[in-house]
Structure 1
Amino acid sequence: MKYVITAALALTAAAAQAQSNVQIYGVADAGLVAEYGTPAGNSTAVGSGLASGSRLGFKGTEDLGNGLSAIFVLEGGYNIDTGASGQGGLRFGRQAFVGLRGSFGSVTVGRQYSPYYRAIRDVADPFEDGLAGQATNVMAGNHRMDNTVIYATPELAGWSAEVAYGAGETTDPLAADSHRKRAFSGVLSYTNGPLVVNLGHHRREDALLPDHVRNTILAARYTLGSVMGHAAIVRNRGLGGEVSRDALLGLTFKSGPHRVWLSVVQHDDKSPAQRDARQYGAAYLYGLSARTDLYAAYGHIDNDNGAPFTVGNATDSGNGNAAFNLGIRHCF
């Protein structure tokens, strides 16, 4: 009898394993950051998450049958140099969502990356929003949205789309409307072999005033052998109606364990102040394995007429107009 029970338990465990899958993953990234042109002069420090924010995450799927799956992600950031939590101490400050995926696409609910941000990170920016030359030093990133529902369509003839709505849910007693701080984000994507094109839009209401900011991006990436070209143009509207435009040109080169990233970002301020800026970035990465690499990067920004842009990295927004990074990243 005990053999029958043992066999039944084994079959039950095997069936459960086949229907659901939970993975533990993460990034451990640390290096040296030398900053130049800060208010306190030049400085050197040990930093965490220069190329990719250090993180520990859990993600999983459960097969619900008929092509339908439940999915979830819980991902928290940490500072490897001190052991402290990232994202202001939030336990799962990087991502926290649950949803369903099937032939209709996917619907997810929680704290998530905006579709607009993924257009920058995955298509426009050769630095993939990391290291000193990242595009979001100058361009608005619109990284994460709280209280958000995202619907992603399936791909049809190369076309797909993502739309997101983030409920404001502000509790600030000074806010005139408890629904303020809402956010809307969406991307229309086209993929045809080596070509990827994204048209994205992001709008975020101010938490207190009846005003909003918005950004619209057209981004493209084209792969030709070991070379990948990147380009983007962005139109921005700030609070009060201020208008600016950004343009990006970038290059990714891969050969064996070697990777080179190059980019130039131009910010044109259309206000009378004309606070324009230009960023130049370069990085070299050497892959010790499929999961571990060494990196060096440099970024420099020329700010005109008091423009406020600083050179940061994947975790830190930076304090100066130039920075050099040297470090190691391990993904697990």
Structure 2
Amino acid sequence: MLKFRSVAVALFCTGLITSFGAQASQVNIYGKIDASVLTGKTRHGAATVQLKSGFTAGSRWGIKGVEDLGNGYKVGFILEQGFTIDDGAEGGTNQAFNRESSLYLDGSFGRVTFGRLGTLGFAQSTGILRGAVFGVTHGASGWASGTTSLHFSRVDNAVAYSTPSFGNVSVHAMYSNGTNTDDSENKWSKNNHYYGLGALYRSKEASGSVIFEAMDYKNETGIKHNPLYHLTIGGYWQIGQIRPMAIYQYQWGEDRYKQHTAQVGTQIKIGAGTAKLGFKYITRKVDGKGTLIQNEKKANLWNIGAGYEYPFSKRTKVYGFAGYVDGGKGWGKGTCLKTTNLNGYQIAFGMVHDF
């Protein structure tokens, strides 16, 4: 009840600001709805057909606001909640804005942002990930799929800083004092902490990023984990109607594993739409006492995906996608694979509308 009441209050306040707010303030409601029919089959499971929400882009709605303070300074906020269009369910339990809730200050010094944020190597307004042809979605072909990594997605209690651009390059840093909670009754050492540092290059023809991230997992109940580290490098180059893309990530951590993940792909303008093609390969090796899905010492898999997006209008597009993933050692068999998108195919047809 509290969550729905907070959303209602936010909408009410948005209406007041829009109607009576100062001339320097701007507040907008926005969103995205993605619905598709998804069929798939794993090597050890039955064929399935489902109405899928958010296959290529997470369905969400949000409120954005910004106030011009003058002298080059601005204060803004983003409140964004996910949902599933097939059943209308909320994106996060007991969270009014599970995707992002942030407040930021912009100026000649750069931008400082506070709140629940997407990590540097993920998405949202603070993410700087580049080079993943399917982004963090599209099933097993996505960069944040279960086949890719123990990725760091969104964290609570975070503060982020980005510098102004110097020669098309900006530096980004982020820290979370407690990825799930920073309870005042706990010592600092009892919270999970996230650390991120990266650099982003942006020009008209190309963009790329280098990101280092770490999670210390100090508050994993009943499970003792040492820190996990990510180093991610990726980018793209626009050459006429073709955009070649590439991304690589190295993961390591004591009592876990060492993993290399690479994806190459391209986006090509064909007619009024865009075709996408990507190939991903993963290889990992147990480090110390770490375990894999099947307690193997090594694991590897490959994935290929292809899709096409066609715009009906500036706000609506339709898409088709097909992907296949094949697991070798460590992902080759097991009952757990019956409930995952490993060792099988996915085919989706859907539509996305922005508002």
In which range does the TM-score fall when normalised by the shorter chain?
0.7 to 0.9
126-135 vs 209-218, which deviates more? 126-135
Percent identity between the aligned chains? 25
Report the Cα offset of residue 143 of structure 1: 1.7
Residue 214 of structure 1 deviates from its aligned partner by 1.1
Once residues 103 and 121 of structure 2 are traced to their aligned partners in structure 1, the CA distance between those partners, rounded to angstroms, is 20
Taking a change above 3 Å as real, the CA distance of residues 74 and 109 of structure 1, as seen in their structure-2 partners, is same
Corresponding pairs, count: 313
Greater Cα offset, 234-243 or 50-59: 234-243
Q: Does 1:323 align with 2:346?
A: yes
Residue 160 (structure 2) aligns with: 150
Higher relative contact order (CA 8 A, sep 6+): 1
> Tell me, which stretches of 5 or more residues in structure 2 are unaligned?
1-17, 287-295, 334-338
Cα gap change, 1:114 to 1:63, in 2 (>3 Å)? same
Q: Secondary structure at the residue paired with 2:255?
A: helix
Matching of residue 194 in structure 1 with residue 205 in structure 2: yes
Deviations 1:161-202 (A, max 9, x none): 11000012456x9x9975331001122122344222211011
Compute the TM-score of the two structures, normalised by the length of structure 1: 0.86
Gaps of 5+ in 1: 1-12, 310-315
Superposed CA deviations along residues 190-247 of structure 1, whole A, max 9, x for unmatched, are: 2344222211011111133361111101112111011101111211014514211111
Residue 133 of structure 2 contacts residue 264 of structure 2 at CA under 8 Å; is this kept in 1? Answer: no
After the TM superposition, which of the residue ranges 229-238 and 184-193 deviates more from structure 2?
A: 184-193
Partner of 2:119: 114
Aligned to 1:127: 134
Amino acid at match of 1:329: V
Match of 1:51 among 52, 56, 70: 56
1:77 and 2:82 equivalent? yes
Distance between the aligned counterparts of 2:313 and 2:22, measured in 1?
A: 30
Partner of 1:260, secondary structure, is strand
User: Per the alignment, in what secondary structure is the counterpart of residue 190 of structure 2?
Assistant: coil
Q: Distance in 2 between matches of 1:121 and 1:299?
A: 25
Q: Distance in 2 between matches of 1:325 and 1:55?
A: 20
Cα distance between partner residues in 1 of 2:131 and 2:63: 28
CA RMSD of aligned residues (A): 2.8
- TM-score, normalising length: structure 2: 0.81
Q: 1:37 to 1:59 in 2, by over 3 A?
A: same
Contact 1:35 1:320 in 2 (8 A): no
Equivalent positions of 1:216-255 (< 5 A) are 216-238=231-253, 240-255=255-270
Question: Structure 1's 17 and 164: CA in aligned 2 closer, same or farther, altered over 3 A?
Answer: same
Aligned to 1:296: 320
Q: CA deviation at 1:49?
A: 1.1
Tell me the equivalent position of 1:203: 214
Partner of 2:67 in structure 1? Answer: 62
Residue among 299, 303, 308 paired with 1:275:
299
Does the C-alpha gap of structure 1 residues 120 and 114 become closer, same or farther in structure 2, counting only changes over 3 Å? closer
Q: Does residue 284 of structure 2 align to residue 266 of structure 1?
A: no
